[in-house]
Structure 1
Amino acid sequence: MALAVRSTWDPFTALVRQFDRDVFDGLTRSAPSAQGFVPAADVRKDGADVVLTLELPGVDVAKDVEVEVAERRLTISGRRHDEQSAEQGGLIRKEIRHGEFRREFSLPAGVTAGQVEADYDRGLLKVRIREVVKVPAAPAKIAIRGAEAVEVPAVEAG
């Protein structure tokens, strides 16, 4: 008795199904947002001033951002809240990063909080540090320990 096997496998249909799975997986695969939100920053000189510009779109700067000067460091920290949860309908891919952030910049000696001002406009936080001048170090001679004057005996010509 011969057994007849009918295959319902269609290579074209299988290819289309695999393509659909790959596309959907590619759209829903987790993006680098797991790394958290780190705002991009530009630093430039403007005469004797230094201006830092940070991209902070979607951040409530009045409530969620702090700019501090302490111990020769300028610290800008805050939080961008997640506006959509994954449970909300229609979300296929999530790339907009959110979470807490902290950016620190070294300041030259002598810079005080009175020299720093910050403005926010259309998603950009601009922090201006006024009159940043490098104070030249005064030249000074350094004593060498252990190099006390040692008398060298005179050599007689002979």
Structure 2
Amino acid sequence: MSNVSLWSRRDPFADFDALVRRAFGGPVPSWPATPSAFVPAADVSRDGDDAVVTVELPGVDVTKDVTVEVDGDQLVVRGERRDERSEERGRGALREVRYGSFRRAFTLPAHVTAEAVSASYEAGVLRVRVAGAYAANGGATRIEVTSGSPEAIETPAGEGDAKQ
């Protein structure tokens, strides 16, 4: 026998969870969040100039149920988890079915294209490598800061003539 109860109070961790998801580019579920929703754990790390996104997907058939794609400036990992278990217990049987769709999205730097992305799966862990994600894209240009009034700043030749 199972007990069903309705929880009318707001989940105390929902706001923090939404904040973390927003910070790392994950989906932000609308309230009330479904308690059975499957949201795989993910981690983004740096390996030289590459970014490595690790997504935990135990028990998921990645060849049938997972898609990795670049959609604009987003790296999107989406799929579905299906898990069915049956067990004979005395005069009856217990059957448990867990399933759920998931979607995780990560913002890519502007200079990264789909050709820079590769993915592999081993032992329940999906690894997506984004080659050159941390590579300097043209580099930063340092601007010299001068002291004095704005009138003292020199303008390039020809620009000051138009203010007459």
Query: Which TM class, normalised by the smaller chain length?
Result: 0.5 to 0.7
Change (3 A) 1:50 1:63: same
Indicate the residue corresponding to 1:89 in structure 2.
93
1:101, CA displacement in angstroms? 0.5
Q: Distance in 1 between matches of 2:94 and 2:34?
A: 19
Identity within the alignment, %: 45
Within a 5 Å distance, the mapping from 1:16-55 to structure 2 comes to 25=2, 34-55=35-56
**Corresponding residue pairs, total:** 114
Larger Rg: 1
Within a 5 Å distance, the mapping from 1:8-157 to structure 2 comes to 25=2, 34-84=35-85, 89-90=93-94, 98-132=99-133, 133-135=135-137, 136=139, 149=163
TM-score, length-scaled by structure 2:
0.58
Q: Distance in 1 between matches of 2:51 and 2:57?
A: 19
Q: Distance in 2 between matches of 1:139 and 1:59?
A: 48
Q: Is the 8 A contact 1:42 1:54 kept in 2?
A: yes
Q: Is the 8 A contact 2:84 2:98 kept in 1?
A: no
Q: Is the 8 A contact 1:41 1:52 kept in 2?
A: yes
Q: Is the 8 A contact 1:74 1:105 kept in 2?
A: yes
Q: Is the 8 A contact 2:49 2:132 kept in 1?
A: yes
**CA root-mean-square deviation:** 3.2
Q: Distance in 2 between matches of 1:38 and 1:97?
A: 13
| SS state at 2:84 partner | coil
| SS state at 1:34 partner | coil
Q: Distance in 2 between matches of 1:63 and 1:130?
A: 25
Letter in 2 for 1:89: A
Q: Distance in 1 between matches of 2:43 and 2:50?
A: 14
